[in-house]
Structure 1
């Protein structure tokens, strides 16, 4: 029987950790909080299973700022920073402004960035391609497809986080080709997305809804999470979906019977989630705190 981590449980886990600038735990089933290491608005954590490392995207400024200073960090599973700026938008030959969602397809790391999707080589971080999505304003969530492509969401936001009306979901190929899956300004600011065997599951930041898009393009309502401000979305091997919520400051789990439980709470602005499939952990960037929290599930 799996027990959800409630506020009390999560708080006790963090209290068990020391309060050094970087709080670490051993490779057991303990919470790990990585703080004061140089993260700058971390938005996503992606597990690279082949390299057994965590990759953290850092906006490092405004979410819509074309400032060339976004970066991606390499983090070890024990919480130690391997390389803070493994990929750095300030370097020549790199375009990276405000990186958000990240996904791994084969030997490539895909990253959303305002109105572009970047492709980097996992082996050395070299940038292979930048794909501009015309008409997009806030590319955000991303999930691998069943081939050499990804699906990405446009959360439809503009300066000042005002609605831009560009809410959409795109399918993007490594060749640079892309197509619109759905574009609807009433979608509710789509954010996290998951390719569930050809069915796309989406959570929204604005309306706090969860829905699916079937292969015919039909939208199907799914159970509504307890709170809104939905950001990250991943699916576990046991069939549960994990959803991060800014409104609830929590991670919710949706099981196969459509029941929600709270995996963890008291998390300030939990963003795009990752899953360490080797150690059974959920990887949580805290957008406003410049921290990454690693929790066993």
Structure 2
């Protein structure tokens, strides 16, 4: 009996330490503003996207360093802890042969962090920061490679906001998966409920579309706001960064509501899935603000 009791105690301890216990009591009713910021990460250089790694309990932040499609080899990815302290400013920098120029959206598969950039998609060892892969898109006339996501099989999908395309990377082969989309796709994320990808429209469009294993597009929903950037799911709600009105909105499947009024134009948001914190980067302000969405 004592043996089994000890096993249960150990399991509970490990579960809590590893993030197995996740808070689900989210305050969807209160609109937060700058007074509700719990942490701020400063000293960045055009932060465009944030990706949280629950295994290391850290944030990765891609730095635009001027932005656009300039091939200036100045981009880098920062590593910060969950309390907003920078652990290493230029943790990932690329290589001489495949440098980072203006990294954008990121996604983690196993021990690899994938990041979209001007000329292709970089792969980094998330523990050491060493570049391990570079997938060159120069054979395509890319417009603006922007965000990255993946399905449960590890197939990557990359949005191209400049050419209204979505690319697919599967088994070291990259190809055009969706072409001539009705809206320019910016953010992309996987809906955990139905394993369908959702695309955020850039520009004045408000229609979010989704797709699965086929090239068939369906309408996911219409959100208020505009010039949408990063999108992520938290529980069953879609969170979307709206640059038109400087807000983070959530969509419950029927209507969108403002969750946070941000200080500036929000870019590609990241979610601390252990604590239900939302990290919001601002390219123009060189900072990332973090909000806590859990009820107090």
Q: What TM bracket, shorter-length normalisation?
A: 0.7 to 0.9
Query: Using a 3 Å threshold, how does the CA distance of structure 1 residues 2 and 231 change in structure 2: closer, same or farther?
Result: same
Q: 1:10 aligns with which of 5, 12, 33?
A: 33
Query: Is the contact between residue 112 and residue 118 of structure 1 (CA under 8 Å) also seen in structure 2?
Result: yes
2:242 maps to what in 1? 245
Rounded to whole Å, the distance in 2 between the matches of 1:40 and 1:155 is 22
- Unaligned 5+ runs, structure 2: 1-25
Rounded to whole Å, the distance in 2 between the matches of 1:4 and 1:96 is 40
Q: 1:58 aligns with which of 56, 63, 66?
A: 63
Q: Deviations over 1:175-196 (max 9, x none)?
A: 4311222111x53220111122
> Superposition pairs for residues 78-157 of structure 1, below 5 Å?
78-89=83-94, 92=96, 95-133=99-137, 134-156=140-162
Q: 1:230 aligns with which of 228, 235, 260?
A: 228
Query: Is the contact between residue 88 and residue 94 of structure 1 (CA under 8 Å) also seen in structure 2?
Result: no
Let me know the Cα RMSD of the aligned residues.
Answer: 1.7
Higher relative CO (Cα under 8 Å, sequence separation at least 6) belongs to: 2
Helix, strand or coil for the counterpart of 1:99?
Answer: coil
Query: Is the contact between residue 246 and residue 265 of structure 2 (CA under 8 Å) also seen in structure 1?
Result: yes
1:217 maps to what in 2? 215
Query: Is the contact between residue 4 and residue 262 of structure 1 (CA under 8 Å) also seen in structure 2?
Result: no
2:10 maps to what in 1? none
Does structure 1 residue 170 correspond to structure 2 residue 164? no
Q: Deviations over 1:214-257 (max 9, x none)?
A: 43322112322111100001011x2000000100200000114x
Cα shift at 1:213? 1.8
1:49 maps to what in 2? 54
Query: Is the contact between residue 209 and residue 228 of structure 1 (CA under 8 Å) also seen in structure 2?
Result: no
Rounded to whole Å, the distance in 2 between the matches of 1:295 and 1:144 is 26
Rounded to whole Å, the distance in 2 between the matches of 1:5 and 1:131 is 43
Query: Is the contact between residue 241 and residue 248 of structure 2 (CA under 8 Å) also seen in structure 1?
Result: yes
Q: Deviations over 1:127-181 (max 9, x none)?
A: 111112222121101112222321110001xxxxxxxxx21011113x4311222
1:28 maps to what in 2? none
- Unaligned 5+ runs, structure 1: 15-30, 157-165
Cα shift at 1:94? 5.3
Rounded to whole Å, the distance in 1 between the matches of 2:64 and 2:283 is 9
2:12 maps to what in 1? none
Rounded to whole Å, the distance in 1 between the matches of 2:34 and 2:47 is 22
> Superposition pairs for residues 21-60 of structure 1, below 5 Å?
31-35=38-42, 37=43, 39-60=44-65
* Greater C-alpha radius of gyration: 2
Q: How many correspondences in the alignment?
A: 263
Query: Is the contact between residue 74 and residue 100 of structure 2 (CA under 8 Å) also seen in structure 1?
Result: yes
